[in-house]
Amino acid sequence: MGASFHMSLPCLSVKTTKSFYADTIGASLGRITQNWVDVNLFGNQLTFIKAEKFSFNSPNYVFEGKILPSFHFGIIVDLKDWEQIYARLNDQKLDVVTQARFLEGKTGEHVSFFIKDPNDYMLEFKSFENPNSIFEK
């Protein structure tokens, strides 16, 4: 049986968040109210709820010589979708962060990039060379 995840996060502006995920990323939207929006991110439900100013202490870490955000969430897609999303965001002249290939020639080899949403969340898109290696040790 397949499963999807649900994540609920605070946002500063429902309108700006809705626009970023629908217009910039290309995700579809679910239920929308004045105080929250559901985003369909590849079959996974992200709910953004309007909140006051918030802050996460999000230090970075180094992996294979790249500085990466320790607090982030993301989606794993096939390579064709990954390439289309990457091209779409680059065409919009957005600040794509740390586009790289990780674990090259090893179990878990994947390409990845990050982009910051309007709430300062880092969203990662990754695609594994071998999708069966996502949880391999």
> Is there a domain that residue 55 lies in?
no
Q: Do 65 and 33 share a structural domain?
A: no
35 secondary structure, DSSP code:
S
**For 55-100, how does the pLDDT look when each residue is reduced to its tens digit (9 = 90+)?**
766 577 778 888 777 778 889 999 999 999 999 998 888 878 778 8
34: exposed, middle or buried (Cβ count in 10 Å: 0-12, 13-18, 19+): exposed
**For 5-38, how does the pLDDT look when each residue is reduced to its tens digit (9 = 90+)?**
888 888 999 999 999 999 999 999 998 989 989 9
> pLDDT higher for 54 or 114?
114
Q: Do 86 and 127 share a structural domain?
A: yes
Rounded to two decimals, what is the model's pTM? 0.77
Q: Do 110 and 73 share a structural domain?
A: yes
> Is there a domain that residue 80 lies in?
yes
Q: What is the pLDDT of residue 66?
A: 81
Distance CA 130, CA 104 (A): 12
Q: What is the pLDDT of residue 2?
A: 64
**For 88-110, how does the pLDDT look when each residue is reduced to its tens digit (9 = 90+)?**
998 888 878 778 899 999 988 99
